[in-house]
Amino acid sequence: MLKTVRKELRTALSWKVGVFVAALLVLPSLFGTVISDGYALSGSADFFTLVMAGVLPLIFPLLAVAVYAVPFSDQLSNRYLVYTRIRIDIRRNLATKALANLILAFIVFFLVAFIPFLWAFFIEPSLGVINEYHQSRVSPGVVAVSPSTINTFSQLLAIGPWAYGVGYSLVLGLNGAIYASLGFLLLFLIPNRFVAIAIPFVGYNIFNFVFGVLAIPQFSPAIVFPFNLTQFPMWVPFVPFTVLIVVALGLAVYVHRNTHRLDVLL
């Protein structure tokens, strides 16, 4: 299984996907650095917040699905899987692709957070690109706030920057993997692949709006990007994450049990 998963991962990393992933890894840090001149930043943690709180939280599920599920949808459209089921057990084939999707999305979104972390906490301070975070612009009357109290997950800064960087990157990687899995599984259940790909993105934004209206934004899917909210206990972001896991597992079980009856595989 692991050998076939590695082969699938190599196949999935086409030049188009490579360009997309490279842009996803580089652009947030670049954009955050460019716009940093207009902000009064108090340190590396504040700069990291600026980098991660840009466009990424708005289209996160769409990006997660785009890494693997979007290219994979072409295989369903041209009925590639239908033709290969004579040579390869269809359930084993789907399990391989589902695992490759999970692994690739996790790695990509781990790096989406980890590379900006390295840039904000280590590389940029050594280069001094943003002029020592413009600390002189902070009003003298403002009381300094500990970075470990800024937002959810920053509690890890009390342990050390590496605990924060690795810990948050793991959380974002896991969430990216779940959204990618939802998009992947929905491709087997919804005839229109564009609708299937869009559902995680639409659901994400609907629930963000609903929980915002209910004044409990800490339980919205967007809590994985907690940078514009006050700090909550670190267990809070795992509430919507657990719900997503349950939904993904339910879809996976349904697809597994109905593999030989799904229209896209007949």
What is the number of domains present in the chain?
A: 1
Tokens 């280590």 — which residue? Answer: 122
- Residues above pLDDT 90, as percent of the chain: 56
Note whether 187 and 59 are within 8 A (CB): no
By the 10 Å C-beta count (0-12 exposed, 13-18 middle, 19+ buried), 176 is classed as buried
Q: How far apart are CA 151 and CA 149, in angstroms?
A: 6
Question: What's the pTM value of the predicted model, to 2 decimals?
Answer: 0.90
In this predicted model, what pLDDT tens digit does every residue of 24-40 receive, in sequence order? 999 999 998 888 887 77
Tokens 């299937």 — which residue? Answer: 196
In this predicted model, what pLDDT tens digit does every residue of 175-222 receive, in sequence order? 999 999 999 999 999 988 899 999 999 999 999 999 999 999 999 999
- Find the domain containing 118 and state its range: 2-265
What secondary structure letter does DSSP report for 88? S
Amino acid identity for residue 150 in this structure: I
Task: Give which of 110, 126, 108, 109 is closest to 44, Cα–Cα.
Answer: 126
Residue 239: CA atoms inside 13 Å, Cβ hemisphere, count?
13
What secondary structure letter does DSSP report for 165? H
Helix ranges (DSSP H) in the chain: 2-12, 15-35, 44-52, 56-77, 80-84, 90-118, 124-127, 161-186, 193-213, 238-257
Q: How far apart are CA 168 and CA 233, in angstroms?
A: 14
What secondary structure letter does DSSP report for 233? -
In this predicted model, what pLDDT tens digit does every residue of 135-185 receive, in sequence order? 444 444 444 567 788 888 999 999 999 999 999 999 999 999 999 999 999
Q: How far apart are CA 227 and CA 38, in angstroms?
A: 18
What secondary structure letter does DSSP report for 230? -
